[in-house]
Structure 1
Amino acid sequence: MNRRGFVRRHPFNTLWLILSVVLLGWIWQERVALWAFPDIISAYTAKEYCSCRYVMANDAGYCRGYVKQWLPISGFTDDAASKRVTVSGLGRSNSAVWVGERQGCRLLP
């Protein structure tokens, strides 16, 4: 009787299974950071745009290009009257507001 192991008969399936288990283990270990990631995109964009526009006094078009990322944002509001920027992306929304000349911009809770 010819007995060959699963690994020898299906080397690619075995490799795929091992890689899947390793990837799932990594995802489980980094679950807190991965859960926070969507917030980072909109918060970073709002804060950096606010700083670019209202602290550094750059043109709105320049600042939009400055904060552009490879991940798309779904909403962007620049309220020049109140110097408040709201950005939505990956299902999360964050706002930054200009506090003052010495304090710059800060994220709103």
Structure 2
Amino acid sequence: MTAQKSFIRRRPFSSLGVLILLVLLALIWTWRVQLQAFPTIISAYTAKEYCSCRYVMNNPVDYCQSYVKQWLPSTLTESLSEKRITATGMGRESSAQWQGLRQGCRLVSPAS
């Protein structure tokens, strides 16, 4: 009579993989609100920092583009007449507009 080995003893790497997957799913569920906000943070950061670089610090376009460059791709659209920057990244869009000398740049809704 031979005793059957448990699943964990027969497949230790598969068992570890399943355990890691369960821990990751629990973490994702715990941080779901923060993870949903992350894409908006990328585009908002890019728009605000680029606006400040261009209109508050009066730096050239090339410098400001390299200043806000990130590992995650984003696109920038600049409206010179309104002094408004629109950044799109990870499927989200954010805009920042120069408010004046004392106020600097501020995030605004993209439709306004």
TM-score normalised to the size of structure 1?
0.96
C-alpha RMSD of matched pairs (Å): 0.7
**Residue of structure 2 equivalent to 1:85:** 85
**Number of matched residues?**
108
Unaligned runs of 5+ in 2: none
Q: What TM-score comes out, normalization by structure 2 length?
A: 0.94
Where does structure 1 lack aligned partners over 5 or more consecutive residues?
A: none
- Give the aligned partner of residue 34 of structure 1: 35
Instruction: Write the deviation string for residues 8-51 of structure 1: whole angstroms up to 9, x where unpaired.
Output: 00000100000000000000000000000110111000000000
- Residue identity matched to 1:103: Q
The question of 1:55 aligning with 2:86 is answered: no
User: The residue matched to 2:73 in structure 1 has which SS?
Assistant: coil
The structure 1 segments of at least 4 consecutive aligned residues displaced by more than 3 Å after TM superposition are none
Determine whether 1:94 maps to 2:57: no
Deviation at 1:76, TM superposition (A): 1.6
For 1:92 and 1:72, the matched residues in 2 are separated by: 12
Whole-angstrom CA distance in 2 between matches of 1:5 and 1:95: 57
% identical aligned pairs? 56
CA shift for structure 1 position 81:
1.5
Give the Å deviation of 1:2. 2.7
Structure 1 residue aligned with 2:106: 106
Partner secondary structure for residue 44 of structure 1: helix
What is the CA–CA distance in structure 1 between the aligned matches of 2:61 and 2:80, rounded to whole Å?
Answer: 10
